[in-house]
Amino acid sequence: MEYKLREVLSILEKLNSKTDIVTKDDIDEQYDNLEDLKVLSSELDKVLGGFNTVNLNDGNKVEEMLFEFHRIITTFEWHFSEISDLNTKILKEYKDKFNND
């Protein structure tokens, strides 16, 4: 997934280079965030891998695992939302800027 999001950012960066709709810093920030996404993916792998060792009769341990799922999933959502926001900014202005230049 990280690779595909990197491709999306690369395309947005190319489109933006023709129009300067968003700042280079905005795009660079999303590339930096992809590194965090890799870490997050590894954290999810650890939680998933540890499932078989969780005593399903221990409500505290199950709750701990579910909270980790929640934290990781909402952070994934945030990362996707940030890239989506960047895409939306370019989407709203690209055609008009490009056609007017």
In the numeric block, the tokens 């999303």 are attached to: 30
Residue 20 has a CB neighbour count (10 Å cut-off) of 10
Cα separation of 87 and 20, whole Å? Answer: 13
pLDDT string in tens for the chain (101-residue length)? 889 999 999 999 999 999 999 999 999 999 999 999 999 999 999 999 999 999 999 999 999 999 999 999 999 999 999 999 999 999 999 988 867 65
